[in-house]
């Protein structure tokens, strides 16, 4: 079930303690969400530079991921995007770069490579995962998704999470903006 728990301003004031004047320790969600930006800075596609963190039920970081091409393959930052246009049932179109793996997918694949189970884990992301990443999240048993913002085409992801019993929390009720959406 989707819920919007805290606004970015509430997160900022809680972390800085500006309301009380003394430091307030961040919640687990605040802590892990603050990690996605520096992790995403390793990304090699300028359309998102998203980061993702997968965390165990005991709040231990299991894996991180960022947007990037598979090992040994050219990156968008080096050779440009590999854009595909998707035409949706309602006639609208969206642009997708298919050169890179998404941050969530890269984190999940790192766990598969290393033989790490994800049952019951939480994944933190810059935006609601796309449908392909959502299918992978459900398949590996991740039970909670926390995103800073919405993805512009996240309707099918939201439905899948709801139907599969995966909790979705979106902090900021806005769509993440990037080029060639």
Q: Among residues 19, 37, 89, 104, which one is catalytic?
A: 104
**C-alpha 72, offset from chain centre:** 24
Q: Using CA atoms in the order 22, 23, 27, 30, what is the torsion angle rounded to 10 degrees?
A: 110
Phi-psi region of 142 (alpha: psi -120 to 50; beta: other; left: phi over 0): beta
CA dist list (Å): 79 to 46, 82, 97: 12, 9, 12
- Rg of the Cα trace of the chain? 16
Q: 167 an active-site residue?
A: no
Residues catalogued as catalytic: 104
């Amino acid at each position: 079930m989707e819920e919007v728990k805290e606004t970015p301003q509430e997160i900022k004031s809680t972390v800085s303690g500006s309301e009380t004047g003394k430091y307030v320790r961040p919640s687990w969600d605040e802590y892990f969400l603050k990690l996605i930006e520096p992790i995403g800075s390793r990304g090699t596609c300028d359309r998102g530079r998203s980061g993702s963190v997968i965390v165990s039920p005991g709040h231990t970081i299991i894996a991180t991921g960022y947007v990037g091409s598979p090992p040994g393959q050219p990156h968008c930052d080096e050779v440009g995007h590999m854009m595909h246009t998707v035409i949706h049932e309602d006639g609208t179109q969206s642009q997708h770069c298919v050169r890179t793996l998404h941050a969530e997918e890269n984190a999940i694949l790192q766990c598969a490579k290393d033989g790490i189970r994800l049952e019951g884990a939480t994944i933190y992301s810059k935006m609601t995962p796309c449908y392909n990443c959502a299918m992978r999240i459900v398949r590996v048993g991740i039970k909670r998704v926390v995103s800073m913002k919405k993805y512009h085409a996240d309707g099918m992801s939201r439905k899948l999470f709801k139907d599969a019993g995966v909790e979705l929390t979106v902090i900021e009720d806005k769509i993440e903006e990037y080029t060639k959406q």
